[in-house]
Amino acid sequence: MRVLIVGPLSGELGKAASIVLSRGALVDHVESVDQAMIRICGQGDHKLVICGIDSAIAQLVEGLRRERISTPVLACGPEDPELAALAIANGAEDYIPLPPDPDLIAAFIQNASNETQTVLSCDPVMLSVLAKADRIAASDASVLITGESGTGKEVMARHIHQTSKRAKGPFVALNCAALPETLVESELFGHERGAFSGATARRIGRFEAASGGTLLLDEISEMDVRLQAKLLRAIQEREIDRLGGNSPVPVNVRLVATSNRDLPSEVAAGRFREDLYFRLNVVSIALPPLRSRPFDIDFLARHFAHQYSEMNGVSDRRITPEAFLMLENHSWRGNVRELENAMHRAVLMAPGDVIDVDAFEFPPTPAAGNFSAAHDPMSPWVGHRMEEVEQALILDTLSHTEGNRTHAASLLGISIRALRNKLRDYAEQGAAIPPPSHGVTVS
């Protein structure tokens, strides 16, 4: 992964840069925020920005927001609570006291690189799918990964990248559902300065950022048909045209696409190009829903219980047989993502050293044979308080936008400030909040 250091390297900030290098990351350095924006927009693969407290942090964060780049910014400075509070108020994700703590910086690097995601399974159904992924990983063939929301399509895409010959190259992801249609083209292909109103600097797109590695187009079925034609040309010609550019730019990427929709049905309905479908579907991998992987329910429940116990600083809690039975009988419409959130809540809510049935909160499911309940999507919430329904809607929307707060607020019709206040309240109540998305994702 690549980290950008902003500020003079003389003194303690230089020590922080040395620690980042020693942890295996690539380091770029600029002196000012203006230089930082040019470097970030022009290179496109920075996973983390470490910025000296003397730099204009608010200006940098606003510039990144304006360019729709979600790279986290860490502020560095003296161990001073007031300076730390000011930096975070100006938009920094966190504050690193100087002189820098190597373990603290390593933790931030690991969190930003997102390299800990692995495919975990013990179920024969899922293991056979994983074996197929391993067989095709070494090739450069395009891969289409299908499955319900929450089954782990992006995790599988990362696994394919990490076991491929492109593993040392970048892994770049674009969630086609998390951006308005008008912005997807610029995100994919980049733009030149002045290409449109607000394009104040040249910015490379995801195709260029992924060159030499893997480009994941998440939820490809959400892409507008008109943009699909430009994507098809990029795949066929292995070159892209930046918006406002005068000449094509060669790219070398392996494409992995995901969809939770039935793409042949989308093709038949005229919402997805048939030629693009065949270009993407050289190899297809269908991820089974969690209810079809019964052995994974207990296995993953134990894994998440251990993970979130450690994360929250509580003792590793045993899951009772009664709780396991309840988990096995649950429908898991949200698949692995729902199970992970359920176990996170259970770790926080369990009153003792074990996780029992009373630590879980599941919305009621429609009763069998009840026509109105089975066909009315709101019926599971009848009898629940308004604030419970509101919380579920907000968190589901945030999951849909892969943690993109700005887009989630837009979809919900509320201000970003109101959304942040809601999320802060939910976190204080122990809810699992989807982490902020980090734009270009490079491993």
Of 33-42, 54-63, 327-336, 393-402, where does the model show the most confidence? 327-336
Q: Which range marks the domain in which residue 311 is found?
A: 297-428
Note the helical H segments in 163-249: 181-189, 206-209, 225-237
Counted residue by residue, the chain has a size of 443
Q: Does residue 206 contact residue 234 with C-beta atoms inside 8 Å? A: no
Q: What domain count does the chain have?
A: 3
Indicate the pairing of strand 249-250 with strand 239-240.
antiparallel
Task: Give domain status of residue 434, yes or no.
Answer: no
Co-location of 17 and 103 in the same domain? yes
Co-location of 16 and 76 in the same domain? yes
DSSP annotation of 243 reads B
DSSP annotation of 90 reads T
Q: What is the DSSP string of 272-309?
A: S-HHHHHHHTTEEEEPPPGGG-HHHHHHHHHHHHHHHH
What CATH number is given to the structural domain containing 323?
A: 1.10.8.60
pTM above 0.75, yes or no: no
pLDDT at 330 over 80: yes
Q: Does residue 51 contact residue 133 with C-beta atoms inside 8 Å? A: no
Co-location of 153 and 255 in the same domain? yes
Domain boundary among 113, 143, 168: 113
pLDDT at 324 over 60: yes
What does the alpha-carbon distance between residue 146 and residue 300 come to, in Å, rounded to a whole number? 21
Q: Does residue 293 contact residue 251 with C-beta atoms inside 8 Å? A: no
pLDDT, tens only, 92-104: 888 888 888 887 7
Task: Report the percent of the chain where pLDDT is more than 90.
Answer: 32
Mean of pLDDT values over 40-56: 82
Helix (H, G, I), strand (E, B) or coil at 101: coil
Q: How confident is the model at residue 32 (pLDDT cuts 50, 70, 90)?
A: confident
Residue at 436: amino acid letter: P
Helices (H) and strands (E) in the chain, counts: 19, 14
Tokens 């929307």 -> residue: 397
Residue 78: asked if its preceding bond is cis (omega within 30°), the reply is: no
Contacts of 86 (CB under 8 A, 6+ apart): none
What CATH number is given to the structural domain containing 83?
A: 3.40.50.2300
> Would you call 247 exposed, middle or buried from its count of C-beta atoms within 10 A (0-12, 13-18, 19+)?
exposed
